[in-house]
Structure 1
Amino acid sequence: MLPTLNAKPEPDTQSLGKRSMLPQRVLTALAVGIEGLFGSGFDQLLLDLPINSWVGPVPSGFGLHLVTRDEIQHAPRVTFEMARDAVTRNYRYDQQRKATEALVERLEQHYVIELDDPTQ
């Protein structure tokens, strides 16, 4: 099947192979997304593959695959300045959640909650 896949022009891959719940094509994904789809370590196997050439079988948690990769784009390093707003927002959310939980605990100490017996 690899010679068929590597033929030019590229054949229609819809009719080749076994169908599964996995996506037939992953256009753009972070390594963690690839790992989430195909299992631990699959993203690392893709790093060593040649560009624009079908190869395989490549093992994953779901079995063996024939794969091709167009390119790998390395994500830019995120500096604290770039993440400052998200970090601040998450910190404030976490502090608000903790304050709400503490308030609920304090209020619960002043009340008795009685439930009617539904069998009566």
Structure 2
Amino acid sequence: MWKRLLREPLVHFIAIGLVLFVGMTALKAAHRPTVRLDAAEIEQLAGYWSAQAGRQPTSEELKAIIDERVNDELLAREALRLGLDKDDLIIRRRLAQKMAFASEDAAPVREPTRAQLERYFRDHAARYANPGKVALRHVFISGDRKADDAHREVLKVLAVAGSNEGEPHGDPFMLPLTYADVAPRDLERDYGAEFVKAAETAPVGEWVGPIASPYGLHVLLVEARQPPHPPAFDSVRDLVREDLLAEARKAANTRYLDRLRQRYRVVVSGAPQ
């Protein structure tokens, strides 16, 4: 019977099909992409986890960390296989940032000399100048008042201040009414540009107003004004170095992009004229 079965064409067909199936399965298994984590990467993952948790992970926690890393890699590879990275602005921007960092590492910027730092400091003196300071007092007239009432109150405050017969008073205010040593940028943050302009230009020792702010009106007295002045170089040397290196890296990145533009042909369709 076995001899008869072995001579049957159907048996031959089934046997050949089985061999092909086993062979194809083995071939596919041999060519499966490999996700591999080495000891250094596992140690790095555990180190990140320890930095956040403040302790070493247990064996179960380490296994979960490894599983999560493998899952991320599997999902990322499958997303790339399916082309999900195409036309994704966020992914492209992230890749561009990584490439920019890589280009900086490939062409490191030389450490500047003291002479270069001093020249950069002189060329950009305004950037490092200590801001001017002003000492002032002001009287506040609430924006909740009607316009006519508010302006009458301003005139009253100016009259009292000009008579030198008493201290002018206005409405209660949540911010200080007196500043002994304040930078204009701090005043602008709290009161706006018009208030700062008055603080920088009003005659010293003279009450002026009305000056508008987001809160209402003010009558202002500048008591003293200190102009901006440059600091000593050594006191800002580290900041100058950071700025100079940042500018050099930006220039290097621009040169790298110029070379890339020569390597690629850029075609922009439908751009506004």
Q: TM range, normalised to the smaller chain? A: 0.5 to 0.7
Aligned partner of 2:164 among 8, 12, 21: 8
Give the structure 2 partner of residue 68 of structure 1. Answer: 221
Amino acid paired to 1:44: K
2:194–2:211 contact (8 Å) kept in structure 1 = no
Aligned partner of 1:32 among 185, 209, 215: 185
User: How far off is 1:67 after superposition?
Assistant: 0.7
Q: Find out whether 1:56 has 2:209 as its counterpart.
A: yes
- Aligned partner of residue 71 in structure 1, secondary structure: strand
- Aligned partner of residue 58 in structure 1, secondary structure: strand
- Counterpart CA distance in 1 for 2:230 and 2:175 is 30
RMSD over aligned Cα, in angstroms? 2.4
Q: Find out whether 1:22 has 2:178 as its counterpart.
A: no
Amino acid paired to 1:21: M
1:6–1:54 contact (8 Å) kept in structure 2 = yes
Q: Find out whether 1:83 has 2:239 as its counterpart.
A: no
- Aligned partner of residue 17 in structure 1, secondary structure: coil
User: How far off is 1:12 after superposition?
Assistant: 3.0
Higher helix share: 2
Give the structure 2 partner of residue 47 of structure 1. Answer: 200
- Aligned partner of residue 27 in structure 1, secondary structure: strand
Amino acid paired to 2:167: D
1:13-32 superposed Cα distances (whole Å, 9 cap, x missing partner): 4xx11011121111110111
1:51–1:68 contact (8 Å) kept in structure 2 = yes
- Counterpart CA distance in 2 for 1:59 and 1:46 is 12
- Counterpart CA distance in 2 for 1:8 and 1:45 is 22
1:38-80 superposed Cα distances (whole Å, 9 cap, x missing partner): 1234212222212211111011222210111012111212354
Aligned length: 86
1:40–1:61 contact (8 Å) kept in structure 2 = no
- Aligned partner of residue 28 in structure 1, secondary structure: strand
- Counterpart CA distance in 2 for 1:36 and 1:27 is 17
- Counterpart CA distance in 2 for 1:19 and 1:84 is 45
- Counterpart CA distance in 2 for 1:33 and 1:21 is 16
In the alignment, structure 2 segments of 5+ residues that lack a partner are: 1-155, 244-273
Q: Relative CO higher for 1 or 2, CA cutoff 8 Å, sep ≥ 6?
A: 2
- Counterpart CA distance in 1 for 2:170 and 2:206 is 17
Amino acid paired to 2:159: P
